[in-house]
Amino acid sequence: MIGRRKSGGASVRSVNYATSPLLASKTPPWRSRFVVAMVAASFALLLGRAVWVQVLGNDFYQKQGEKRYAHTLSLQASRGRVLDRNGLVLASSVPSPSIWAIPKDFQADGGERRALARALGMTPTELDTRLAGNPNFVWLRRQADDATWDKVKAMGLKGVYQVREYKRSYPEGESAAHVVGFTNVEERGQEGIELRFDKELQGRDGLRAVVRDRLGRVVEDIGDQTAALDGRDVQLALDSKVQFYAYQRVRDAVAQHGAKAGSVVVLDALTGEVLALANYPSYDPGQRRNLSGAQLRNRALTDTFEPGSTMKPFVASLAMETGRVSPSTVIDTAPGTITITGSTIRDSHPHGALTVAQVIQKSSNVGTVKMAMQMQPREMWEVFSAIGLGQKPQIDFPGAVTGRLRPYKTWRPIEQATMSYGYGQSASLLQIARAYTVYARDGDIVPVSMLRQDGPVAGVKVFEPETARTMRAMLGLVTQPGGTATAAAAIGYSTGGKSGTARKQEGKGYTNKYRSWFVGIAPISSPRIVVAVMVDEPSKGVFYGGAVAGPVFSQVVQNTLRMMGVPPDIPVQAQIVADPAAAEQESF
């Protein structure tokens, strides 16, 4: 009941709580019990969570906590070196700064961003794109040089740091690029020896457990370290001086004749070691921006071509080996043509009656075909197979190709005839060079090796020693007056070999483009090296192998034998060829 009462002239309203309908209502008993139960459940959940975190799930949370401060760093192993046969460095790893940033901490105004982009060798847009990536870490420039880092460091930009990595260095540059190859930014082999021996060169990285702060700085070491195991060195058979000289000579020949490309292979006749393998065009393996496929191609191993006249000595050797002819046997090549099943084969210049030795000296197609047509196709095929045609070279190097040699059962008479002078099959320059070790080694052939050998190696017999020595003497006539490659003669050393000139095949026909090459042996009296030279598409009017590739052969032979300490075997005198192009009368 609400009433009023007066007090000091004022009335005061009073409330009777006992009779208020709202306040007089009783609270249900289950509500208080529910509240107590909820409080108890909350305590139980908190207790369960504490038990889980502190006892049952302790390992998980410990690891999560450690992730915030403990890190395992990889101790990078130093990649092994690539050495030449004399221990000179062809490839090695050197420390290099790699620049990185924490984008969320990076602070720079427009001018500073442009200056940073210039220092890093990129556009401001490229820099902005990189910084827009992972907010915690981005690479700005891997394997930069010290000068670049000094410029960046001098800017004092917040959020930009550097770490030392290894960068591959190639002292011989473009001269040995196709042999040594290169690695990627992670130092994994991509080409050449770097790819073939990647596992041996890599080594094994070590491990280091550390505590790092939020900026990535190491505070302290924790636990034991696993030391890095550096990669082992790989020593090649290559002689870097011979390699550099061979590269220079083929480069100059390509420029002189306006050619598309060129290659040189130098083999040690005693061991089969590759002393030089050079190609032009080439590239600097340490600076590989904007490379073309033409620069990367290791043409001496990957490009195949019809070997042309370089096959003639093998046909003549087989004819002598089987008693069909002797070096003095006369073959009538008049009138300079021969017709086989309706197809005419011709010499570039008619020669009339020639001895077998003169057939090789003059490079007569007709004379070679007349010897070949006395044989069974199987006989020629067996010799061609024995010298490595149609087989992938067994060499410690990626990319070597097989070439082509069709089964003899499919040969038609005209095909047997053209194969006798090098048309209808294909081989690489390395395969041709290896084939001529037969004549340098008195009849046996050896495998080629990119790695240094300890001494002479055993070969596989192809011809009798007397046959090989007789043919070697015939090959010596090729570089003497009256031969097809007098420009291949070397001052102070007797040389012999065979030039080749072949039209390039495009589609089903032949073009007016040529490949010119020469492969030979020196010294003839006691062979030490085999040198093969190829120039692709000479375009300045001279295209015969003896005139284009012969001079390169001569220069490489003289330089290589002097470096090897081989004494001259003929009187040292000036050798002058008035017109090398005129001296070459090769059939192709």
Q: Which residues are catalytic?
A: 309
Q: DSSP per residue over 249-300, as a string?
A: HHHHHHHHTT-SEEEEEEEETTT-BEEEEEEES---TT--TT--HHHH--HH
| Cα 424 to Cα 306: distance, rounded to the nearest angstrom | 7
Distance, in Å, from the CA atom of 508 to the CA atom of 378, rounded to the nearest integer, reads 26
Close Cβ partners of 453 (under 8 Å, ≥ 6 residues apart): 237, 271, 272, 273
Tokens (6 digits) for 501 = 């000139």
- Residue in this structure with the two tokens 């130092």, named with its chain if needed: 187
Residue 498 to residue 488: CA distance in whole angstroms: 10
Contact predicate 108/157, CB 8 Å: yes
**Angle of helix 377-386 versus helix 413-420 axis, rounded to 10:** 40
Contacts of 574 (CB under 8 A, 6+ apart): 491
SS3 content of the chain, % helix, strand, coil (to 5): 35, 25, 40
The C-alpha R_g of the chain, in whole angstroms, comes to 40
What is the secondary structure of 22-33 as a DSSP string?
TTTPPPPHHHHH
* Residue 377 CB coordination number (10 Å): 19
